[in-house]
Every structure is written in C-alpha cells, then in structure tokens.
Amino acid sequence: MVDRTKGCGVLALALLMGGSCKSSESPAPADSGPVKGRPDGRPIELLSWWAALGQSDPVGALIAEHAKRFPEDYVINARTLLSARARSTITARMMSGEPPDVFQCNVGYDMRQWVSGDGVGDRDSKLARLDEIFPELWKAVPSKLLDYISYQGKLYGVPATVHRLNAMFFNKAVLAAYGLAPPASVTDLKAAGRKLHAAGIPLFAINGKEPWQLGQLVFEDLIIAREGPDFYRSYFGGAERPDDPRIVKMLEEALELLLYANTDWQDRSFLDASDMVAQGKAAISVGGDWMTVYYAPDGLTEESPIGEAAFPGTETTFLFTSDLFSLPVRAKNPAGAKRFLSTVISAEAQRVLAKVKGCISPRTDVNDAGATAIQRQKAELLRNGDLVLALSGMVPKQFHDDVSWALIDMAKQRKIEPALQMLRSRYHLLVDQNEVKW
C-alpha cells in the first residue's frame, strides 16, 4: 500500500478539466500599497490552481526557489483550488481590469483566449509579449512545443511543465499474480480484462464523480490507440462527420472494455479509484503523469510497486498539456512578475517542478540528469516525437464537458447512443469555433 496524504484539496492538481470537489479558495488580496525594502515597493501576486497532491506542494516549491534568487521579493500565493474556479476568478479579474501580476493557464485555448479574442490578430491582447524578454526560450524549448504556446510567432506564456496525459499506471504485483505483462495493445487489454474478471479483479479502476477520466480514456487514449493521432486531430478539428463509423466502433469497444472496470465506479472519485490500484484491488488506472507523485512522492522508479507506461497502442504519441504562467498587460507589478517568470524558466526551478509535479521540463537541457527510463522516453518524444495537444487545449470547454458527461450516461446505460447523440448535437462547436487547426 502506498503512503500518501488524502483530502479534497489534493484533487485540484488532478482536475485539469475542472471538477466538483468542494474546497475553500483564497480571495484575491486587496492592493497592500508600497512595502518598504522590496525592489518595486509592491508584492507579486500569483494566482494559480496548483494544490498539494500527496506530499508535493508545487506552488510552495516554486515560491521557495524564487526566494533563493530574489530574497527581497514577497510573493502572494492567491491560490484558488480547482482549475474551473481559478479560471472563473481569472476571467472576472481580467475583465474588470484588476488582474493578478502572474497567473496560471494551460497551453491552447486557455491562453489564446486572452491574446486573440477574434482569432485573427493579437492587437488587443490582454497579455504581455514575453519572447523578447526571455529570448533564451527559443533555444531551450523545442520548436514544436513553442508552436503550441505562442501566437503568430510571439510568446505570451512561460512554460513551467509538460505533462503526458496518455499515461497508464498499473499494479505490478496484481498483473504478475495472474501471469500478465503490462498490456501493449488494446487486444492485450481485453485479454487481461477477461482473465482478471474471472478472478474477480477489475482491470480498470475508474470513477463516475468526475467525468474527465472517462473522457480521457475514450476520446484521447482509445481513439489514438485505434485510429492514430492524425484522425484524432482531424476529428476534433471539426473536419469529420460527428458519427464517423470509426467513432461508432470506438464507442462500442469502449463499452466492451468497461465490462472489466470496478462495479462501484459510479460511487467513487478519481482518487478513490486510484487507491484501488495502489492497494492491489484493481490492475490499471489511466490519467496524466502528474499522478506519479501521488503513487510515489519522490517519483516512480523501477522498484516501485506501481508502474507507468503509455496507454497501450499510443507509445509513439505524446498527448500533452503544459502549464504556463502569463503576465497581464495591466499587472500592478510587471517588473516583479518578470522576475518571477525568470525563476519559472530557470534550470533550477524546472528541475524542482519536474520532481514535485511528476512532469518533464519544457527545457530539453534539464530532462536527462537522473531521469528514469520512462522520463527519458517522454523527453525524447518531446524533442522528436509526435506531439499532440490534449482536448482541454484543443476544443471549446462546452464541448469537452458535455461529451464527457455523455460518456458517463453511456456507461450507465450500456449503450453508445447517449455519447453518439451528444457528439452529433455538439460537433458544430468544433466546426464553428476551432479556427486554429492543431
């Protein structure tokens, strides 16, 4: 059994797509006025949704690293737990003209909405350009990643992390007890599911309280495993029929795989389901690689009871998201914000974040030292592999939320119609709004 700290707050890091867990949030502090002894006479206000996961505290670690570099700075951690709440707070403050000095966002639409409201240009951008301030990023960060985090050749966010989302975590002892190797294909998954099901062990530990996990399993992992990344891009770029025969077959196969999930999935949260794998009550969980620090505070190793691999059939694809930090043009302390951003991209802070977030660094020059085999594999994919943007950055939020909840209904009813009908009714959002073809 893996030792960890539980609590509602830890879910915030996991909920890249929002969630329903109730938590408190830190209100935006009022302007405290000049503070004697600080370089700019003001604190630096940071707004993010990062929270502790297990024993890791990424915001605390980042602020501590900044204090080493700039001991006279004072950073206000205006954290709002859960990404959906944080984004609502950021939106309200940006629109009111009272933004924080630095705020967290994700690569893709989450950032670009503040740069180009009309999808045509950045003349009215609410974010400051950063490429001329941090020119070293053009050498340290792979060009393919920069394409995703910039707009028309200009950088509006500093990348702090790169997370692989098509990750699979498995209990080594459970698989070994039944003579199973980690599945390498969807066919392997089905065979393992049948064998474990006969012994009363779930293949998958899933949850029904937060829909994003089922959405990720079906619309990110399984679709790429079956049809490849090009179809994934084309379909979610609005270029296919919503009820394409390949989508119908995928949904049918998803229902088949869900036969091998835990029967109490509707009553569990994501972390409850993850605990089943840690405790040997299920074989596999799917999620982003940020879960490595939940299963092992210092990161998974070859000796860990839990193993990490790409979802079967997606080994050569790097389905990713990246946490960015941006500087609003109306920030009260832009000089302090720039110092903080310089810390975020420093090699020292990047190494710290990679450890406490279970990610790899966007900087290719800090990924290799002391890395495990799976980390080296991900770093190589970042440099030279097929980089594919996660749905959270690729499609409108309304589409993402609606189709994920429809999968919950599909699983409950054991019929593909709820998901298929939702795709038909919401697909126009991709055709109408997805101007950027990833």
pLDDT in tens, 20-75: 333 334 433 333 344 444 555 689 999 999 877 667 789 999 999 999 999 999 99
> Is there a single domain that holds both residue 74 and residue 113?
yes
**Under a CB-based contact definition with an 8 Å cutoff, are residues 284 and 170 in contact?**
yes
Residue with tokens 């799917």: 286
Tokens representing 170 are: 């498995």
Give the model confidence (pLDDT) of 356-372 as tens digits.
999 999 998 888 766 78
Residues 180 and 102 in one domain: no
Helix (H/G/I), strand (E/B), else coil: 245: helix
Residues 215 and 82 placed together within one structural domain of the fold? no
How many angstroms separate the CA atoms of 197 and 191, rounded? 10
CATH number at residue 102: 3.40.190.10
Euclidean distance between CA atoms 23 and 10, whole angstroms = 10
CA atoms of 274 and 261, how far apart (whole Å):
12
pLDDT of residue 1: 42
Q: What is the pLDDT of residues 228-247, one digit of tens each?
A: 999 999 999 999 999 999 99
Q: Going by C-beta distance under 8 Å and a sequence separation of 6 or more, which residues neighbour residue 322?
A: 106, 107, 145, 148, 149, 159, 160, 161, 162, 163, 362
Domain count, the chain: 2
Q: Do 123 and 192 fall into the same domain?
A: no
User: Which domain, by its residues, includes 422?
Assistant: 164-319+391-433
Looking at the fold, whether 297 and 270 belong to one and the same domain comes out as yes
Computed over every residue of the chain, the mean pLDDT equals 88
The pair of three-digit structure tokens given for residue 81, joined into one six-digit string: 């737990």
Could you tell me if 295 and 427 lie in one domain?
Answer: yes
311 and 328 together in one domain: no
- On whether residue 295 sits in a domain, the answer given is yes
pLDDT digits (tens, 9 = 90+) for 251-307: 999 999 999 999 999 999 999 999 999 999 999 999 999 999 999 988 888 899 999
Q: Give me the mean pLDDT over the 79-107 stretch.
A: 89
Residue 2 included in any domain: no
351, 280: one domain: no
Pair 280, 221: CB distance under 8 Å: no
- Tell me, yes or no, whether 30 and 42 share the same domain: yes
pLDDT of residue 433: 60
Do residues 179 and 199 both lie within one domain? Answer: yes
Name the residue among 11, 361, 385, 334 with its Cα closest to residue 166. 385
Residues sharing a CB contact under 8 Å with residue 252, sequence separation 6 or more, in sequence order: 416
Instruction: Give me the pLDDT at residue 2, please.
Output: 42
Report pLDDT for 199.
97
- In this model, does residue 7 exceed pLDDT 50? no
Q: Nearest-5° angle of CA 65, CA 71, CA 72?
A: 140
> For residues 261 and 302, what is the distance between their CA atoms, to the nearest angstrom?
26
70 and 49: one domain?
Answer: yes
Give domain status of residue 152, yes or no: yes
Q: Which two tokens stand for residue 435?
A: 């101007």
Written as one string, the DSSP assignment of 318-342 is EEEE-EEEE-BTT-S-HHHHHHHHH
**Three-state SS for 372?**
coil
Distance CA 345, CA 350 (A): 6
pTM (predicted TM-score) = 0.87
Q: What pLDDT score was predicted for residue 119?
A: 65
pLDDT band at 15 (very low <50, low <70, confident <90, very high): very low
261: closest CA among 362, 342, 331, 192?
192
Closest to 253 measured CA to CA, from 290, 227, 230, 232: 227
The answer to whether 158 and 103 are in contact (CB under 8 A) is no
Q: Are residues 92 and 198 in the same domain?
A: no
Give the C-alpha separation, 319 to 229, whole Å.
Answer: 9
Residue 175 domain flag: yes
Q: What is the DSSP string of 17-33?
A: T-------BPPPPPP--
Assign 432 a pLDDT band (cuts: 50, 70, 90): low
What pLDDT shows up at residue 6?
Answer: 38
Region of 25 (left: φ > 0; alpha: ψ -120 to 50; beta: rest) is beta
